[in-house]
C-alpha cells in the first residue's frame, strides 16, 4: 500500500511462552493472534500492551516513558510501567487533528498534527496533570491527503518533518519534501525534495546521515514502482517525485518534464506497494552482533495490489554504510491473503529489545532475543 490507508481494528489478548529451543526459524509460541509470526532463530514476540487504539508512531522519554501517537483517533498516549513491569496507559491529549508524528527532546514531547506542531513541556513529571500545549508552529500545509506528519530530531538538534504530497501524483508547492526547523519552530527550510510520502526516518549511528522510507505512487500496476529506502547525507537533494519513481520509472504524466538521471536513486529499492513506514538502525546490545547498525523497516502492507504484499518487518543488511541485501525479518501478519496485523513504527528500548506498533490490532509488540541453551549461556 502506498497511501497507508486504514482498515478495521482487530483486538486480542495474547500470552507469550518463552522460547528456549530454536530450530531453523522461530515461530512465536502464543495464542492464535501471534502464533503465525515467524522470526529468525532466538527471537520471540509478545504483546507489550493492547490498550492503545490505532497505535502509530513511538518515541522514548528520558525517564523511560513510551509515547504513542494515533492518526484516526486524534489521541496521544504515554505508557509507563508498574512495579511489576505491567504497562500503564495514560491519555495525554485527545481531539487532535491526525497527531501521527511525535518526538521527545529536553523533557518535552513534540506532537505534529496535520496543520501544526505543539509541545508538552516537562511531560514525564506531569502525567497526572497534563500541561496545556505550547504551539511551536501553525503554518503547515492543511491538505489531509498524506497529511499525517512524521517528525524526529536529528543529530544537528533540528526538528525534521515529512510533508507528504496531497495527492497520488502531482506537482504541489510546499509539499512532497522533508523539512527541518529549530526546536522553537523558527528557521524552517526544505532539507530533501521529491519525497512523495515518508512516514519514517532515522540517522545512521556512525555517519549521522539521514535515511528515510518513501511510499511510491499508486496505479502503475502490481510491481512498480518500488518502495524506497533513501539516504540524504546533505541538504538540497531531490529524490524524483513526481517525475521519476525508484531509479528508472518515468511518470506517465510528469516524466516528460525531467529525466530520471537528474535525481537521487534509492539507496535500496523495496517491494512495490509494501508501504514502508517506520525505520530504525539497531544499536542495542540484546540482539546478536550481526544485527548491529542494520536497518529494520515496518511494512504496513498493500491496499490496491491484486495480491497483497508487505504486512511484515524487513531488514536491509548494511556493510560499510551501504545496503547489501533486503530480507524479511518477521512475517506472518499476512497468510493466504488474510491480514492479521499492520506494522507501523519501531522503537528500541534501553535493554535492546524492540517495540513495534500495529494500528490494526490496538497493540504494541515487544521483540526480544534469548541465547539458545546449546550456546552454553542461560537465556
Report d(CA 175, CA 235) in Å as an integer. Answer: 16
Residue 6 in this model has a pLDDT that exceeds 80: no
- Contact predicate 199/215, CB 8 Å: yes
Write the CA distances from 353 to 20, 348, 349, 370, integer angstroms. Answer: 17, 6, 6, 10
Which of the residue ranges 21-30, 142-151, 309-318 would you say has the lowest mean pLDDT? 21-30
pLDDT of residue 373: 53
pLDDT digits (tens, 9 = 90+) for 195-228: 999 999 999 999 999 999 999 999 999 999 999 9
Amino acid 362: pLDDT: 87
Which range, of 29-43, 142-156, 240-254, 282-296, averages the lowest pLDDT? 29-43
Residue tagged 512495579 (cell numbers): 83
Q: Which residue shows C-alpha cell 498516549? A: 77
Separation CA 76–CA 123 (nearest Å): 12
Q: Is the predicted pLDDT of residue 316 greater than 70, yes or no?
A: yes
Residue 21 — very low, low, confident or very high, per pLDDT cuts 50/70/90?
very low
Q: What is the pLDDT of residue 154?
A: 98
Give percent of the chain above pLDDT 90. 86
Q: How far apart are CA 121 and CA 313, in angstroms?
A: 33
- What's the pLDDT at 85? 80
Burial of 53 (0-12, 13-18, 19+ CB in 10 A): middle
Residue 84: its pLDDT value, please? 83
| Residues 6 or more apart whose Cβ sits within 8 Å of residue 330 | 37, 38, 39, 43, 45, 312, 313, 367
d(CA 330, CA 271): 15
Q: Given this model, what pLDDT does residue 212 score?
A: 98
Nearest-angstrom CA–CA distance, 4 and 162: 14
Higher pLDDT: 87 or 348? It is: 348
CA–centroid distance for 193 within its chain: 20
58-60: strand order across its sheet = 58-60, 66-69, 76-81, 87-93
pTM: 0.90
* Residue 254: per-residue pLDDT: 98
Domain ranges of the chain: 26-375
* Grid cell for residue 303: 491496499
pLDDT of res. 374: 54
10 pLDDT exceeds 70? no
pLDDT (tens digit, 9 = 90+) per residue, 36-85? 999 999 999 999 999 999 999 999 999 999 999 999 999 999 999 888 88
Q: Please check whether residue 185 is in contact with residue 211, taking contact to mean a CB–CB distance below 8 angstroms.
A: no
* Residues in a beta bridge with 297: 279, 314
Instruction: Report the DSSP pairing between strands 237-238 and 189-193.
Output: parallel
**pLDDT tops 70 at residue 352:** yes
What distance in Å separates the CA atoms of residue 279 and residue 258, rounded to the nearest whole number?
30
3 state DSSP class of 108:
strand
Mean pLDDT of the chain: 91
pLDDT for position 83: 82
Fold of 26-375: Neuraminidase (2.120.10)
Task: Give the model's pLDDT for residue 30.
Answer: 42
Amino acid at each position: 500500500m502506498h497511501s497507508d490507508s486504514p482498515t478495521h481494528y482487530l483486538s486480542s489478548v495474547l500470552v507469550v511462552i518463552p522460547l528456549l529451543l530454536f530450530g531453523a526459524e522461530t515461530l512465536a509460541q502464543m495464542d492464535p493472534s501471534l502464533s503465525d509470526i515467524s522470526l529468525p532463530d532466538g527471537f520471540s514476540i509478545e504483546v507489550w500492551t493492547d490498550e492503545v487504539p490505532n497505535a502509530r508512531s513511538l518515541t522514548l522519554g528520558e525517564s523511560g516513558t513510551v509515547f504513542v501517537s494515533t492518526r484516526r483517533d486524534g489521541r496521544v498516549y504515554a505508557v509507563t510501567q508498574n512495579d511489576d513491569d505491567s504497562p500503564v496507559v495514560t491519555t495525554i491529549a485527545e481531539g487532535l487533528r491526525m497527531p501521527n508524528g511525535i518526538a521527545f527532546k529536553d523533557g518535552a514531547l513534540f506532537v505534529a498534527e496535520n496543520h501544526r506542531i505543539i509541545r508538552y513541556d516537562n511531560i514525564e513529571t506531569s502525567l497526572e496533570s497534563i500541561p496545556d500545549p505550547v504551539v511551536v508552529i501553525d503554518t503547515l500545509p492543511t491538505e489531509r491527503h498524506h497529511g499525517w506528519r512524521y517528525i524526529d530530531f536529528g543529530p544537528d538538534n533540528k526538528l525534521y518533518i515529512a510533508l507528504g504530497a496531497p495527492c497520488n501524483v502531482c506537482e504541489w508547492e510546499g509539499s512532497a519534501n522533508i523539512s527541518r526547523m529549530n526546536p522553537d519552530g523558527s528557521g524552517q527550510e526544505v532539507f530533501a525534495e521529491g519525497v512523495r510520502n515518508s512516514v519514517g526516518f532515522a540517522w545512521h549511528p556512525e555517519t549521522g546521515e539521514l535515511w528515510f522510507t518513501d511510499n511510491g505512487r499508486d496505479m502503475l500496476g502490481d510491481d512498480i514502482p518500488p518502495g524506497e529506502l533513501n539516504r540524504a547525507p546533505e541538504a538540497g537533494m531531490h529524490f524524483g517525485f513526481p517525475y521519476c519513481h525508484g531509479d528508472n520509472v518515468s511518470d506517465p504524466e510528469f516524466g516528460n518534464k525531467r529525466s530520471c538521471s537528474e535525481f537521487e536513486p534509492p539507496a535500496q529499492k523495496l517491494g512495490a506497494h509494501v508501504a514502508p513506514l517506520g525505520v530504525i538502525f539497531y544499536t542495542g546490545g540484546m540482539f546478536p552482533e550481526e544485527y548491529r547498525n542494520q536497518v529494520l523497516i515496518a511494512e504496513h502492507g498493500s491496499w490496491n495490489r491484486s495480491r497483497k504484499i508487505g504486512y511484515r518487518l524487513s531488514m536491509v543488511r548494511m556493510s560499510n554504510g551501504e545496503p547489501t541485501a533486503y530480507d524479511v525479518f518477521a512475517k506472518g501478519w499476512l497468510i493466504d491473503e488474510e491480514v492479521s496485523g499492520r506494522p507501523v513504527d519501531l522503537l528500541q528500548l534501553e535493554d535492546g529489545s524492540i517495540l513495534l506498533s500495529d494500528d490494526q490490532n490496538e497493540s504494541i509488540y515487544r521483540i526480544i532475543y534469548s541465547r539458545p541453551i546449546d550456546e552454553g549461556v542461560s537465556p
